Amino acid sequence: MSMGSDMYRQQILDHYKNPRNHGELADPTFSHEGFNPSCGDEIEFDVELADDGETIENVAFHGDGCAISQASASMLSQKLPGMTLEEVDELDRDDVLDMLGVEVTPMRIKCAVLAEKVVQDGADIYRGEKDVEQTSTEDDE
Ligand code: FES
């Protein structure tokens, strides 16, 4: 992977080694998992919504994967509480890359966006807008 600066590299390694919100929620509103087919790495997110059924109150994730995929999940888990599902829908790869703060090679884009896709698909499934068992980053270029 090509890294922009030492500061961001350190931040990614820190999130990888000490993932925030790692684990499972006792009573999630919805859970969803996804994988990166090019390597088999996986991430599962638990999401708890507030009483309005729209605002994220709490999240937890666990999984197995490279530094980029796990750091991206950890960083996303800090960003999600307080966001509405609609706002989550609007996240795109540029938001993820901004969050990571490094240049990511095309191969590694799938690692970077895995967590974001998992949460977006989980939200879509919860709202009955999608029906997939597992999210795959296969369709990403
Ligand atoms: Fe598998 Fe990055 S190498 S998610």
Closest CA to 113 of 72, 84, 80, 74: 72
| Residues near ligand 1 (Cβ within 6 A) | 36, 39, 41, 65-66, 68-69, 111, 114
Confidence bin at 139 (pLDDT 50/70/90): low
The domain in which residue 19 lies consists of: 6-136
Whole-number Å distance between alpha carbons of 132 and 18: 30
Which pTM does this prediction carry? 0.93
Of 44 and 137, the structure prediction assigns the larger pLDDT to 44
Say if 27 falls within a structural domain: yes
Say if 141 falls within a structural domain: no
CATH number at residue 78: 3.90.1010.10
- 8 A C-beta contact, residue 27 and residue 126: no
Ligand 1 atom nearest to CA at 38: 1
Ligand 1 atom nearest to CA at 69: 4
Whole-number Å distance between alpha carbons of 74 and 61: 8
Say if 118 falls within a structural domain: yes
Ligand 1 atom nearest to CA at 41: 1
- Model pLDDT for residues 121-137, shown as the tens digit of each residue: 999 999 999 888 899 98
Say if 92 falls within a structural domain: yes
